[in-house]
A and B are shown apart, each in its own frame.
Chain A
Amino acid sequence: MPPLLEVENLQTHFRTPDGVNRAVDGVSFHVNAGETLAVVGESGCGKSVTAMSILRLIPEPPGKIAGSIRFQGRDLLTLSDREMRDIRGNEISMIFQEPMTSLNPVLTVGRQIGETLRLHQGLSAKQAEAKAVEMLTLVGIPEPARRVREYPHQLSGGMRQRVMIAIALACNPKLLIADEPTTALDVTIQAQILELMRDLKRTVGAAIVLITHDLGVVAEVAERVIVMYAGKKVEEAAVSPLFRNPKHPYTQGLLGSMPKLGSSLHGDEGRLAEIPGLVPSLKQKIPGCVFASRCPHTTDLCRQVAPALEEKEPGHVAACHYAVKEGAIAA
């Protein structure tokens, strides 16, 4: 069976007064039906731009999307705006990070959930409201019949995020893109939302692309992971091998720089591993490996030749000259 979504050599560049910003520079990946894929990386690595590119939410110009994005066999980049509108919110929908700013403050929650249903499925206002109540029940909001007539400011942050999820799921999408869905929430509320997303995945069966910088969240909900750095995919693996045996020095650095809960009980309270330096500017072409300027194992080869993505173990891909098959770095 072909994958649900297949992204090939995606390049999203932005024209700026001082040069072209290569926010996403040749990223390929796929998402199978019903699976959860996490895209991890730090600010500016291109993970959100990748998500926006899939839905073609990048303003062109100054942006420019190249490559191919095949969804159920159709290349989204060749569709007309009208055809694309039929897909957004219907077949592919999105949850944004800020539940405060991504809801319309002057419309009731019910109207906002109903909007997609009326547009895509041609429901009447009354049917849409009934369905909105059903969706609020699904995402675990108490007293849905009352809440459906309330405005976003009357809801707490966690409830607003539940409403966002209800909107996203209203039309039964095949793919849900969640861009930092729990970053703005407190941990106890985050735990509720992650639990909800896991439950919904079982009941609704949509594939999820989860974009996040939080490796803890990744470990809890994802099945497969892509690690991005400076606009490129540097590693991809199923979730367990990635955490147990990361191949790329950047992934190793990220995992090492995170303090682990329970560290005081195991006595491992040394210094945190640091990744020295800064993410390189995306406006200059980097001849070699994008991570070379910060990598502890850099050699001349790394500075001159960009490493290709190589399968180091079955299903475990990394872009590093030295990440050998056993996982140790020869340097």
Chain B
Amino acid sequence: MSTPPILEVTDLKKHFPLRGGLLGGTTGYVYAVDGVSFSIAKGETLALVGESGCGKSTVGKAVLRLFDITDGQVVLDGKRIDDLSSSALRPMRRRVQVVFQDPFSSLNPRMRVRDILAEPIRNFGLAKDAKDLEERVAKLMDTVRLPRDAVNRWPHEFSGGQRQRIGIARALAADPDLIVCDEAVSALDVSVKAQIVNLLQDLQRELGLALLFISHDLAIVEHMTHRVAVMYLGKIVEVAPKRSLFAAPKHPYTEALLSAVPVPMPGMARERIILKGDVPSPIRPPSGCRFHTRCPYAFDRCRSEEPKLTHVATALDEGHVAACHLHDRPAAENPLAVAKGAALVAA
């Protein structure tokens, strides 16, 4: 474990100003991401899970540097990228690519597949000459299991799953070290989703890619990632190797999330925790632990003091951290001390 991580994010914050008022001044902030730290090793898949509005896509965009961050650090392969000028950033951009959710709006309808794939290759000057360019495009089509002669066609001639393959090929064209997959399989039908999940897993193994896999689908996350980070309202509340997380969640939010996923096994008896209410507004996040307003186990300390991510001992793997005051209590008063993941997900 001595190799440095490909990506290291430290105390990342992104606050979006709210404009309004008489003179159009700033009237407040949306605390979309409010102090998030994590790292991804080379060739590793880290999943970022959470519900709409928890800030998971904002983290993805910050890693891609699609905007300037409010505070914190993003370090790519030992080099800090969040404060680079746009010209200094250019060579680093090649190394982090993205696959978007919607394969219908993320491909330019006026470009042929060949041009979509050639653009990043030209942009980063990766091809020696026209013949090399053509060869690289053809290879990309092989990599994503599309026929080579399809390069002359337009995006609208493809199905959703095929378009997502083109989107993946475009991300691979720049020969990246890390790909941010922002809900990359969420918009696809079940049978096509399986094809794309298998493809991503194959590519990761073949090319040694690291993936930041942003998703709300816990079953897919469990299937294809190594480690999982759970976000709630702009904060990471738990990070763990997946087996440890699914066997014994150590944050009440993770526990509720797991129990809420419908499981395709009729009549299965399982423990179900139904959270009350909605996610609070990130404009005025709750005091103390942000989850205390919906947490079934909240006590006084949760309302005033914010819990920090700390190491939690588990039976399974090392490296399980969670931000919850329950773990400071004696085991008898900690409902998360026992491993009940199996009761939550499947008997």
Contact = CB atoms under 8 A, between A and B. Distances in A.
Interface of A: 42-43, 156-159, 186-192, 194-195, 213-220, 222, 239-240, 243, 253-255, 257-266, 269, 271-276, 278
Nearest to B201: A271
A156 B191 CA distance: 31
A240 B266 CA distance: 6
Interface residues of B, number: 47
A216 B278 contact: no
Contacts of B274: 188, 191-192, 195
B266 A274 contact: no
Given A259-B219, A262-B222, A272 B260 contact: no
Nearest to A223: B266
B223 A42 contact: no
Given A260-B219, A261-B219, A274-B198, A190 B193 contact: no
B190 A265 contact: no
Which 5 residue pairs across A and B have the least CB separation, nearest first?
A216-B262, A257-B194, A262-B345, A259-B223, A191-B260
A255 B264 contact: yes
B161 to A, nearest CB: 8
Nearest to B243: A264
B197 A272 contact: yes
B264 A257 contact: no
Q: Could you tell me the dominant secondary structure of chain B's interface residues? A: helix
27 contacts: A42-B190, A158-B278, A186-B51, A187-B260, A188-B257, A191-B274, A192-B274, A195-B274, A219-B262, A219-B268, A220-B262, A220-B266, A222-B266, A257-B190, A259-B223, A259-B224, A260-B219, A261-B219, A261-B258, A262-B345, A264-B222, A264-B246, A265-B243, A265-B247, A274-B194, A274-B198, A278-B161
B216 interface: yes
Contacts of A218: 264
Interface of B: 51-52, 159, 161, 189-195, 197-198, 201, 216, 218-220, 222-224, 242-243, 246-247, 256-268, 272, 274-275, 278-279, 341-342, 345-346
B264 A259 contact: no
A260 B264 contact: yes
A146 to B, nearest CB: 16
B264 A273 contact: no
B261 A258 contact: no
Contacts of B258: 261
B102 to A, nearest CB: 14
Given A191-B274, A216-B263, A219-B266, A186 B216 contact: yes
A259 B222 contact: yes
A187 B195 CA distance: 23
Contact of B222 (A156, A219, A261, A276): A261
A328 to B, nearest CB: 21
B258 to A, nearest CB: 7
Most chain B beta-carbon contacts within 10 A, residue among A218, A239, A272, A273: A272
Contacts of A264: 222, 242-243, 246-247
B52 A269 contact: no
Contacts of A275: 191, 194
Contact of A258 (B51, B219, B224, B341): B219
B246 A261 contact: yes
A47 to B, nearest CB: 12
B159 A260 contact: no
Nearest to B159: A278
A213 B247 CA distance: 27
Nearest to A140: B276
Most chain A beta-carbon contacts within 10 A, residue among B159, B246, B262, B268: B262
Nearest to A244: B266
Contacts of B246: 261-262, 264-265
Contacts of B342: 262, 265
Most chain B beta-carbon contacts within 10 A, residue among A156, A191, A214, A254: A191
Nearest to B191: A275
Most chain B beta-carbon contacts within 10 A, residue among A195, A218, A260, A266: A260
A261 B346 contact: yes
B147 to A, nearest CB: 13
B266 A243 contact: yes
B298 to A, nearest CB: 16
Most chain A beta-carbon contacts within 10 A, residue among B52, B194, B197, B272: B194
A216 B195 contact: no
A276 B195 CA distance: 8
A71 B189 CA distance: 32
Contacts of A190: 260, 262
